[in-house]
Amino acid sequence: MTIQSPVKAGIAHWFPGATGINGLSQLSGGASQETWSFDVVHPSGNIAVILRRAPAGYGAAPGRAAGLEAEAVLMQQAFNAGIPSPRVRHVLSAQDGLGSGFIMDRVEGETIPRKILRDAQFAQARGLLTGQLGKAIAGIHALDRSRLPNLRLMTVAGELDDLAAEYKSFDWPRPVFDLALRWLRDNAPAPSDTVTLVHGDFRHGNLIVGPEGLRAVLDWELAHFGDPMEDLGWICVNSWRFGEIDKPVGGLGTREELFAAYESASGRPVDIARVMFWEVLGTLRWGIMCCGMMQRFRIGPDHSMERAMIGRRASETEIDLLRLLAPRA
Amino acid sequence: MQDQPTPVELINAVAEFLRTDVAPQLSGHAAFKLRVGLNALDLVARQITHEAGGNAAETERLSKLIGASGSLEDLNRLLSARIASGEMDFQTPGLAEHVWQTTMDKLAIDQPSYASYRRERETGSKVKVKSNMD
């Protein structure tokens, strides 16, 4: 469904002085969320923007998602704090007739990991990104909680219960997942003394990169409060290294480099054992997410090949879990 | 007995046509989808070729490890349950070797180009088990 007429009707209200829009196109869309791109035609210069929305009837955030309104607040707070982030231009209200969502600046750049990790134009960025990522994560963890939306609090015990329940719901035996769950329960750290905002999905695909490095952190859908070490563990999960397996931080750099940048920006020491715990948990989590894609492929409505094939990537996380927990000599 | 060509020969012939004749005519999302489809066809061909041998060896290892007989799925369910209950873990003799071999056999079909798998094929041999990470 196109959103042309409500956008045209609202544009002068959202961008005072705007005379119309150009190049409206849909970038992605599932049943519950859509992403659109267009240019706002304005006498003082056109503005390239992205609209993210959940059509009416899909307003309630499913399961773990923070919800688009919360995402808009998080992104705006991140922008205000100087974290590479798109500026939020307008938060949709009922009278806009577009459901819930927001309009933000369109940040040009690359999100495709293989290009970021291999293309010549990002050679300089690759040398800078690990430090920039550590600094951005530190910035996210420093956001003032009193200005943030009310997000769920993630605890290790709760997260392990959720993962175990989801794995069990697939009713398909994966002894490596059982071994990982057992290891995680046996090695669970005490509740973190420090609780901060956690981005929750800080990895390739959600990072816009230019030749000079990090331009924007996207997709705050899984943001929550919890152990700040979680974000540092998640960016080190092997699934985000895209072949560069000797560079733990997104295939870009070393843990030491990431931790040094994080410590210097946050003033908070990195708890290396905790980060490793979250890396193991994250590896299992991605494996379970892959299995979940397979379930949704079977149940529908999305019977796509892509979802089906992601189901066959769960075994990648099994070998990575074994490399972490039972390395071969 | 079914006649020839074999399923693998048929899949490979279709994949070859899609790769050489159809792929160059597509761009954008359709080209991406075709690549995913070709990956799926290649995976199916690998599975048809290698599955039987891998399953037989896995069944034998599991029977020995668990001390029971049954279908491959039943044995895996039993192993899962014993790990979940704490009855078996990485310290159980033969368990780490078993899950490593099974996982390597899965990757050989699912994603033989996955970097962790390629690394383990080149270098991996003996399992050493860490009880804790420090």
- DSSP track, A101-122: EEEEE---SB--HHHHHH-GGG
Domain A113-325 in this protein, CATH class? alpha beta
Comparing A52-66, A80-94, A207-221, A238-252, the range with the smallest average pLDDT is A52-66
Rounded to the nearest 5 degrees, what angle is found at the Cα of A61, between the Cα atoms of A56 and A64? 160
Kindly list the residues of chain A whose beta carbon comes within 8 Å of any beta carbon in chain B.
Answer: 173-176, 178-179, 181-183, 187, 238, 241, 243-245, 273, 276-277, 280, 305-306, 308-309, 312-313, 315-316, 318-320, 322-329
- Evaluate if residue B35 carries a pLDDT over 90: yes
Give the class (CATH, top level) of A4-105. Answer: alpha beta
Q: Which of A130-144, B58-72, B90-104, B120-134 is the least confident region?
A: B120-134
* pLDDT, position A59: 46
- The complex's ipTM works out to 0.92
Strand A34-41 versus strand A47-54 pairing type: antiparallel
Q: What is the pLDDT of residues B44-85, one digit of tens each?
A: 999 999 999 999 999 999 999 999 999 999 999 999 999 999
| Percent of all residues in chain A with a pLDDT value above 90, rounded to a whole number | 86
CB within 8 Å of B87: residues ≥ 6 apart? none
CA pair distance A137, A232, nearest whole angstrom? 8
SS3 of residue A49 by DSSP? strand
Rounded Cα gap, residues A284 and A178, in angstroms: 10
Q: Give the Cα separation of A62 and A91 in Å (integer).
A: 20
Q: Does the beta carbon of B72 lie under 8 angstroms from any beta carbon of chain A?
A: no
B94 touches chain A (CB under 8 A): no
**CB-based contact A265:A140 (threshold 8 Å):** no
CA distance A208 to chain B (A): 20
Q: Which amino acid is at A189?
A: P
**pLDDT score of A48 more than 70:** yes
Residue position matching structure tokens 């041999």: B125
Q: Could you tell me the residue ranges of all domains in chain A?
A: 4-105, 113-325
At A245 the three-state DSSP class reads coil
| CATH fold match for the domains A4-105 and A113-325 | no
* Interface contact B133-A320, CB threshold 8 A: no
Instruction: For residues A74-101, give the mean pLDDT.
Output: 95
For chain B, give the secondary structure using H, E and C. CCCCCCHHHHHHHHHHHHHHHHHHHCCHHHHHHHHHHHHHHHHHHHHHHHHHHHHHHHHHHHHHHHCCCCCHHHHHHHHHHHHHHCCCCCCCCCHHHHHHHHHHHHHHHHCCCCHHHHHHHHHCCCECCCCCCC
Displacement of CA A281 from its chain's centroid (Å): 16
Which residues on adjacent β-strands are paired with residue A210?
A213
DSSP A201: -
Q: Do A276 and B133 touch (CB under 8 A)?
A: yes
Residues of A in contact with B46 (CB under 8 A): none
Mean pLDDT of A195-220: 97
The shortest CB-CB distance from A238 to any of B79, B96, B116 is to B116
Say whether B33 and A320 touch across the interface (CB within 8 A). no
Q: What is the mean pLDDT of chain A?
A: 94
